[in-house]
Every structure is written in structure tokens, then in C-alpha cells.
Structure 1
Amino acid sequence: MNQYKFLIAGLVFLSWTGEVSAQTEVDALRYSRTDFGGSARIQGMAGAQTALGADISTLSGNPAGLGLYRRSEISFSPGISLSGTESKLNNNSSATDQRNIINIPSLGIVFTKRKADTDESDWRSGAFGIGLTRLNNFQNRFRYGGSVNQTESLVQSLGETAIANQRTEADLDAEYDNGIETLEGLAYSTYLIGVNKIPTEPNNPNSPIREEIYVESQGNLTQNETVTSKGAQNQWDFSYGASYRDKLYLGASVGLTTVRYNQARVYQEVDADPTTDFQNLTLSDEFTTTGSGVNLKVGVIVRPVDAVRIGVSVQTPTFYTLRDQYTTSMATTFGGSAPGNYDKSLTPGDFEYTLTTPLRANGGVAFFAGKNGFISADVEYVNYGGARLGNNDGADTFSGTNDIIKDTYQSALNFRVGGEYRYNIFRLRAGYALYGDPYKSSAYDRDKRYLTAGVGIKQENTFFDIAVVNFRYNSVYAPYSLLDNLQPVVSTKNTTNSVLFTVGFNF
């Protein structure tokens, strides 16, 4: 199980305790590890666009590409995605699930002003564009189920947490009376854990009393959970690019990013042994993150000869202001000698904080075979360990979490390669992308792989493109932690198949 020590995303909910923030290294990676987006043309080539230009996708990719526009353009790209998961609990029983979503991966408009060919000025053209690009699609759902013994249960974890935090009967009672703000307080209020008072000298009635946390006895357990997430991370780009002698292209952009992420989990433990008092528990939690961010980007494309283009772009860290709102509740059922149903909730949480995601640097090259098509390749560098969480008031609440981010994540390279074949008005495209593992622990494959294809029609004033994107990656999850590190571990194969269309007009 040691290979999972950096992967237990389920530990997030253990820190949702009142005013203590719920933000962890998992949140930092979620908003730092973005996908390639853009039009159907660019996605059909796996996003390999740093050296290309003259596409609405350059607004978020390399704004220098605006300098290659010769006419103004407007485009719109709707799409549909089917996300599927296959999850295994402790590498045993598996469960599948899927979700569908209609979305808008890209839209935008570019205004171009180009000088006449008879004009001998060095600066040949300039273009200003406004565009929307989807950076992340959070639509996903996975579920799992299986058997565990009592020493591997959630109840055991809650008892260990109470012991580790040195909880006493007095402060657990006070929390029950004044508003429940911890998971061990929630477990105490629903009779999953309790406190025994034991004389330090059993044969001396006047000896001091010590308190000892105990957990409710359980029998043969089955557990199951469904985790559903939804939302998106989008970016509006305001970009300008210019052409110098049609050999050097320069550009810059301001990106305004929006985030909305919602995750809901329902976890259950059921006791199949009718001789125990404990029958079942249901732990439900939900949190929503909303916010916005800003970044700057500069880029350059060089065309030393007509057949070759070389591009570079650098994006500053994105500075986010985010807000988390979350709720957690527990319901328990007991039978046997003490039957009863209990249902309690934590005090709802509301927390604002900041996140700085890492700098991104892209380099690319494209080779053109006259009017027959081209091949384009990109490499992107991102240091995921450079993400940082912070407080709006400047307090140093996240120093420990930021140390975990630095220790858990590493820099990674993302590779993209794609091509386009042209025949008359028709276009045929394909591409492949490999996004590197952001984790320092290398015992589990967490690369992202994309296989893409597309077709298109390009006419004098209109164009229409279709792209298909197959996206695969693996994830690991644990619903809670145990001191012996033997908590249940869920491994999931995630697959998303997307189809998107782009309709565009030149004017």
C-alpha cells in the first residue's frame, strides 16, 4: 500500500472541520492540470498548435498566431462528451458508471486588419480576438462496493481520529451542545464512538479515572460509495497578435478564468451480522467551489522559410480567488439491545482562499508540405509542485499544505503531435497527446493519453470541422485513512469520448 501514500484523495473530507480549511493538495492539482481545448480543427490534432496560428484556439494557446490571420473570423464549437468509469475496490470487485454532457469547448471572434500587398510597411497585419476555451470538464461519476472487516471500517478510522486528537467526553459533549464541527464529533453524536471511564487502579475505588475512546462493535461489513462531480473550468482570452514582414509574429493576451466545481459523495457501511447492535451508517457530504482567476500570456512564432514555423509561448501563474461551501451529515441505524435511528450534521462550512497555479511554457514546430498539409508537434512544461494555496487576509494557514504540494508533485512534460492532410476543400486530421504524471511517487501510472481524429471542409468564407477525442487516465481514491495504512483503496479507469463541431465564417 505504500505506493498510495500520496494518492489518497479521500482524505480531503477528514479536514472539513469547522473553520479549519478543507483545501488540500488535491484542490491545487485539480485546477492546475488542465486539458487542451479549442476548436474542432485543433482538437482533431490533439491540441498541437503552438507554431500554427490562424485559428481561434491560438487565443488560449499562443496569441502570436493571431498575426497569421488575413481576414476576420467568428466561430462556434458545441460538443458532447460521454464519460465512463470502471472502479475496483482493493483490486477485487469492479463497478462501472457513466455520464453524458453537452458543452461548448470553444467560441470566439477575431478582428483582423491587414495592409495591402502593395504597402511596403514592415508591420503587415494585426488582429484582436476574444474567445472562450474550456480548460477542464469536471463531469464524472464513479462507484464501488465490497466487503471489509471491522478493523478496516470507517468507524475504526473515526475512533482513531478521536484518539489522535485527544478528544474527551467533556469536549465531545460540548461540541454536541454547541454545534458539531468535527467528524469525530459527528460519530460521537450518532453513537458510533463513545468514551469509557476506567479507574487507573481497578481495585481502588478512589483511584483517578482515565478516559478511553471506544468504537461501536461491528460484524461482517459491506461498504459502497458513489462519488459524483460536475462543473467546468473556462477561460476568456483577450488577445492581440501582429505580423512583422510575415516572418515574425508576436502576441499577448489576458486570460480571465472561471471555476465551478461540485462534488457529492454518499458512503455506506452495512453490517450483515444480525447479532450486532450496529446495522448501518450513511455519511453524505457535498462541496462546491466557485471563483475566478487571471493570467497573462506572451508568444512568438518565427517562419524562417515557408515550410517551417517555430513557436514559443509562456503563461504566467494563474491567480485565483476561490470560495468553498460544504456540508456533511451522518445517519446511523442500530438494532439488537439498543435500537434507534440517529441523524446529525456538521455546521455548514464557508471558506474563501487563494490559489496560484504554476507557470506554463510551450514550444512547438510545424512542417508544411506546400498546400498538401502539415505536421505539428508541441511540448509543454508545468511544475505542478509550484502551486500555492493562501488566505485572503495574508495569514499563514496553508504553510503545511504547501509543503505537501511541494513534496507530492513534480514538474512534468506534456507532448502533443498532430497533422492535417488537405485535398481540395477537404481536410483530414489526426493526433496524439501524452500528458506526464504530476506525482513524484512513480508506482502508479497517472499519465493522461489522448487519441484524436477529425475532418473538415474549408470554403472561401465558411468552414466546418468535426473532431473525435478519446481521453484515458487512471485515478486512485481512499474514502478515509487508517493508522496502519490498510484503508480500502479504489482504483478507477476513466475514459471520456467527445465529439465536437466547429462552424466558422470569415468576413
Structure 2
Amino acid sequence: MTSKLIQTKFIFAMKKYLSILAIAILVPFFGGAQDLADALRYSNFQVQGTARSGGMGNAFGALGGDFTSVSINPAGLGVYRSGELALTPTFGQTSVETSYLGTSMSDEKFKFSFNNISYVTAIPTSNRSESGIISVNVGIGYNRLKDFNSNAIALGHNAQSSLLDNIASNANQGNWSDYYEELAWNTDLLLQDDDGVYWHDLEEGGYGQSQQKSITRQGSIDEYTLAVGLNFNHKFYLGASVGITDIYYKENSTLIEWDDNNDINYFNELQFDNKLRTTGNGYNVKLGVIFRPTNEIRLGASVHTPTFYNLHDVFDTKMSSSITYDDGSTENYTALPDYIKEYDYDLETPLRATLSAAFVVAKQGLLSIDYEYVDYGSASLRRGGDGYDFVSENQEITEAYRAVGNLRLGGEYRLTNAFSLRAGYELYPSAYNDEAFGASQPNADSKLNIYSAGLGYRNGGFYFDMAYRYYDMLAYDMLYPAPVTSNYADPAMAEFNTVKNRLLFTFGFKF
């Protein structure tokens, strides 16, 4: 009895874990609900900005003098000695290689965008003594925080599970959704026996179908900033900014399962299409300080309040099937929900804090480092449009996510008065706890590495910077949610290796 009880508790814990994990990483299949996936998607970002900053790993918390620094430490605005206008067009390529059930696939996407547009004016005070407040600088501009654009495709031959497992198990638990179970029922994919138990043809036929899932993501998180920086004695720099963030996220996914060997009775094919679009705005405040004890050393610190978002989701699904009956006839069905689902809700992202240091080496080069603290478990969903309070979802966020320390390193070497070389490295650890919901999390060891290099040119009031940035991240996702009962096998994990290549070009004018 004891052994059986332990086994039952273990199975229950695993099913709960896999179901919540599916919510966390499978937006297409739970896109109609607001959950921990939304919290992480809009809280986890890496500032992009200008080519100079990008070429130095965005380690600009103690350096300043570049508009990207305003999104890291607004005290960097006080370092400016003159006005500036800057523009940064960016060319991007994102490739995703997948491995699923022994089959490898790849897809890619190209995108042109603007990472940065900014204007800074430096206003010297009437103070001529080089003490007190030397200047008041004001900046307004835009930095891109996150780029969602990517294409991915996964393909494999599955002998043990199907999307229909999740749908049938949910139906048997009384969980009936107009966007999933209802569609499967109306396309003759979900069946019911005389005892009222829901089932599907693949479980009767022993599975063995091919599966393909394609995912297309579009959009970005952009920040529009108004900032003020003060220069005290060329030793202390203080800054404050108000950021208005804009989110546009669109994800379309298609899952196809088909009986390519004609081994399964009745079932020929299913296709499940899922669309999610999220739009919204938020605001935050940043405060920062930079201290220059000597000409060679700069120390910086900054804090970012949470970003308070108001978001709007639009969610839709469609299911199609092909079924061959006993009389030899084949019927094709398509089902849609009665209406597109829309929902308003608020999101509060985590507070961020950064400590920075920079060292000037013999007036010929510099080294800089940023350490950024973010507790992803402190993100919270709030105020659903229908009055929903998200208590259980916020508990899951706390259990699934952890605090991390992000690291940014950068260097610059001045070749001549006109030309400089740059390099950088960034490390962003996984936001997932090692364990959650009674089991280990497969993405706990995933991390984002960014390698960068750049070249700068200065000539009078004009400058031109270029940078190359290489992103590399490995993650694991399921193609569809796990069943909520133990009589079905768990879905296999797919491996997603995402590589991004970015070319940044900044054109700037000082006046």
C-alpha cells in the first residue's frame, strides 16, 4: 500500500509539473490564458541600442556618453559634454535549429529595424569655477529592448503521444474549452464511448503518426525615454529617466499530425492552428549615479522600478481533420470557435538593479563591467479585465522562476585619434529554478551568450560606429501540452538552438 501510494503521489506531481511547464513554454496552446509564460516573455530582455554600446557588450553602466546607457544607468546622460543626434539601423538574421525524435530541421528569418534614435542637448550652467553643477543634460530617444522575430519548424515520427492525448484527458476531467476540446469534437477527432469516456483513434491504433510544428513570431519591445542628467564637478553624475515601453507580440503556430504509413484506423490527419497577438504599453522610472574618483576609474549604480504594463491579448484557434470511415468514405472537417477571444490584464515586471565599473587604460583604451540583478520570480499578473486576481498564476511564477545575475563585459582600444576597436561579452542565465512543482526543469541550465565586436570612426562632429553581435541559446520545449491524467504517455521534448546574427550601424552628429 505504501509503495502504491508513493507511486500515485509521484505520478500526480509529475503530471502537475508537466502541465504547468507546458503553460510556461508552450504559448501557442495556452495562448488564451494569461500565465507565467507572459510574465517571463515581457520581463526578460537585453537592451540593444547603439553600435558602440552593442560592440562593447552593452557594458555601459559606468561609462555613459552613449544613449544606450540611459536604458541601463541614466546618470550616463550627465557625462555628455555636447549635444548629439544618433540613428542606428540594424540588419538581423535569426536561425533556429530543432531536434525532435531523432529528426533535425532548421529555419531562419531576416529583419531590418532601427535599434536606436536619440537626441541629447547639453546645457552648461553659468558656473565657471568647474565646481558645483557644471551642466544639465536632457535626452529624448528610443532604444529597442527585445526582438521577437523568428521562424522555427520541428518534425518527427511519434510512436507514443499526440496533441489529442491532452484534449481527451482534459475532457475526461471536465475541462472543456471552446478553443480546444470543442474543436476536436466538431472535427470527429475527439470521441466518446457508451460509458461517457472520451478517447481518440490514435490511442486505439497505437500511434505511429508523423508530426510537424511550425512557429512564426513577430514583434518587439521598444522603450521611449525622457531623461535628465547632471554633472557635478566632473566627479559625480546623477540621472533620472521616465521610460514608456511599447509591446507588440504576434505568434502563429501550426501543428500537423498525419498517418503517413496508413497504419491507424479512421485517422488520416489533423491540423491545429493557433494565433496570439499581444499589444500594450507600460511605464517605468530609472535612477542612477556615476562616481569618478580618478581619471582612470568610474563606478556606477542604478535601479529600475518595475515596468507597469497594461496588455491586451487577442487569441484564436482552428482545427481541421481528415477521417476515413468503415464504408470507405473520407470526410474533411474544419471547426472554428464562435468568437475570437480578447482579454485585458496588467503585468508588473521585476525591479532591476545594476552595479558597474570602468577603467581607462593609459588613455588608450578602457575596460568595463556591469552586473545586473533581476528576480524573475517577483513578476506578477494583475487586474484581469473580468476582475480575475491571478493568485494561483502568481504563485506558479514564484515557484518556477528565480533571481539571476546578468553579466556584461566590454572593451575599447583606440587605434588612432579617429579609429577604435571594440569587443564584448554578455551572459544571461536561465530564469528557471532548478526544481519546481516537484521535478527538475529542463531549461534550468539554459543560458543566453552574446559575443560582440565593433569598429568606431570619429571625425570632428561626425561619427560612425558598426558592430556585430552573435547570440546563442539552447532551450527545450514540448510541441504540445502534457495530458492531465496518467493513462497517457508524456510528450517528448524538442531541442531548439537559436542563433541570432546582428549588424548595427550608428550614424551620429555632435554639436
Give the TM-score taking structure 2 as reference length.
Answer: 0.89
Q: Structure 1 283/392 Cα, relative in aligned 2: closer, same or farther at 3 Å?
A: closer
Structure 2 CA distance for aligned equivalents of residues 350 and 471 of structure 1: 34
**Equivalent position to 1:40, from 51, 71, 75:** 51
Tell me what 1:202 maps to: none
Are residues 1:184 and 2:181 paired? yes
The Cα of 1:462 is off from its aligned counterpart by 0.9
**Equivalent position to 1:111, from 95, 112, 121:** 121
**Equivalent position to 2:64, from 42, 45, 53:** 53
Are residues 1:328 and 2:317 paired? yes
Most deviating of 433-442 and 313-322: 433-442
- Asked if the contact 2:343/2:385 (under 8 Å) is kept, the reply is no
Most deviating of 495-504 and 367-376: 367-376
**Equivalent position to 1:491, from 472, 477, 495:** 495
Aligned 1:240-259 pairs, distance under 5 A: 240-259=228-247
Structure 2 CA distance for aligned equivalents of residues 166 and 344 of structure 1: 19
Structure 1 CA distance for aligned equivalents of residues 244 and 427 of structure 2: 26
The Cα of 1:295 is off from its aligned counterpart by 0.1
The Cα of 1:395 is off from its aligned counterpart by 2.9
Tell me what 1:505 maps to: 509
SS, match of residue 401 in structure 1: helix
The Cα of 1:59 is off from its aligned counterpart by 1.9
- Specify the code of the residue in structure 1 equivalent to 2:246: T
Most deviating of 79-88 and 5-14: 5-14
The Cα of 1:10 is off from its aligned counterpart by 5.2
Tell me what 2:449 maps to: 449
Tell me what 2:6 maps to: none
**Equivalent position to 1:342, from 329, 333, 340:** 333
Structure 2 CA distance for aligned equivalents of residues 157 and 13 of structure 1: 14
The Cα of 1:273 is off from its aligned counterpart by 4.3
- Specify the code of the residue in structure 2 equivalent to 1:220: G
Structure 1 CA distance for aligned equivalents of residues 197 and 83 of structure 2: 74
SS, match of residue 279 in structure 1: strand
- Asked if the contact 1:10/1:480 (under 8 Å) is kept, the reply is no
The Cα of 1:306 is off from its aligned counterpart by 0.8
- Specify the code of the residue in structure 2 equivalent to 1:477: D
SS, match of residue 172 in structure 2: helix
- Asked if the contact 2:28/2:253 (under 8 Å) is kept, the reply is no
Are residues 1:23 and 2:34 paired? yes
- Asked if the contact 2:375/2:404 (under 8 Å) is kept, the reply is yes
Q: Cα RMSD over matched residues?
A: 2.0
Q: Structure 1 118/274 Cα, relative in aligned 2: closer, same or farther at 3 Å?
A: closer
Q: Structure 1 95/352 Cα, relative in aligned 2: closer, same or farther at 3 Å?
A: same
- Asked if the contact 1:36/1:46 (under 8 Å) is kept, the reply is no
Q: Structure 1 428/278 Cα, relative in aligned 2: closer, same or farther at 3 Å?
A: same
Most deviating of 474-483 and 444-453: 474-483
- Asked if the contact 1:195/1:212 (under 8 Å) is kept, the reply is yes
Q: Structure 1 270/305 Cα, relative in aligned 2: closer, same or farther at 3 Å?
A: same
- Asked if the contact 2:211/2:255 (under 8 Å) is kept, the reply is yes
SS, match of residue 424 in structure 1: coil
Report how many residues are paired: 477
The Cα of 1:119 is off from its aligned counterpart by 3.8
Structure 1 CA distance for aligned equivalents of residues 395 and 185 of structure 2: 32
Q: Which runs of 5+ in 1 are unaligned?
A: 168-179, 199-210
SS, match of residue 187 in structure 1: helix
Structure 2 CA distance for aligned equivalents of residues 120 and 48 of structure 1: 28
The Cα of 1:480 is off from its aligned counterpart by 2.1
Are residues 1:313 and 2:302 paired? yes
The Cα of 1:124 is off from its aligned counterpart by 0.5
Structure 2 CA distance for aligned equivalents of residues 293 and 30 of structure 1: 14
SS, match of residue 35 in structure 1: coil
Most deviating of 494-503 and 268-277: 268-277
- Specify the code of the residue in structure 2 equivalent to 1:291: G
Give the TM-score taking structure 1 as reference length.
Answer: 0.90
Structure 2 CA distance for aligned equivalents of residues 285 and 356 of structure 1: 26
Deviations 1:449-476 (A, max 9, x none): 0100000111221110000000111122
- Specify the code of the residue in structure 2 equivalent to 1:240: V
SS, match of residue 333 in structure 1: strand
Structure 1 CA distance for aligned equivalents of residues 55 and 64 of structure 2: 15
Q: Which runs of 5+ in 2 are unaligned?
A: 1-10, 435-440
Tell me what 1:458 maps to: 458
Tell me what 1:224 maps to: 212
Structure 2 CA distance for aligned equivalents of residues 189 and 241 of structure 1: 62
The Cα of 1:363 is off from its aligned counterpart by 0.7
- Specify the code of the residue in structure 2 equivalent to 1:95: M
Deviations 1:32-88 (A, max 9, x none): 001122210000001000000111112212111111111100000001011011101
**Equivalent position to 1:385, from 367, 373, 377:** 377
- Specify the code of the residue in structure 2 equivalent to 1:281: L
The Cα of 1:336 is off from its aligned counterpart by 4.0
- Asked if the contact 2:125/2:136 (under 8 Å) is kept, the reply is no
The Cα of 1:220 is off from its aligned counterpart by 2.8
Q: Structure 1 47/120 Cα, relative in aligned 2: closer, same or farther at 3 Å?
A: closer
**Equivalent position to 2:268, from 268, 271, 279:** 279
* Percent of aligned positions that are identical: 32
**Equivalent position to 1:434, from 427, 434, 443:** 427
**Equivalent position to 2:198, from 213, 217, 221:** 213
Structure 2 CA distance for aligned equivalents of residues 57 and 119 of structure 1: 30
- Specify the code of the residue in structure 2 equivalent to 1:330: M
- Asked if the contact 2:60/2:72 (under 8 Å) is kept, the reply is yes
Q: Structure 1 370/125 Cα, relative in aligned 2: closer, same or farther at 3 Å?
A: farther
- Specify the code of the residue in structure 2 equivalent to 1:32: S
- Asked if the contact 1:233/1:258 (under 8 Å) is kept, the reply is yes
Deviations 1:220-246 (A, max 9, x none): 311101011010000001000001111
Tell me what 2:293 maps to: 304
SS, match of residue 197 in structure 1: coil
Are residues 1:136 and 2:121 paired? no
Structure 1 CA distance for aligned equivalents of residues 25 and 404 of structure 2: 24
- Specify the code of the residue in structure 1 equivalent to 2:291: V
Deviations 1:426-458 (A, max 9, x none): 110001110111100265421110100000111
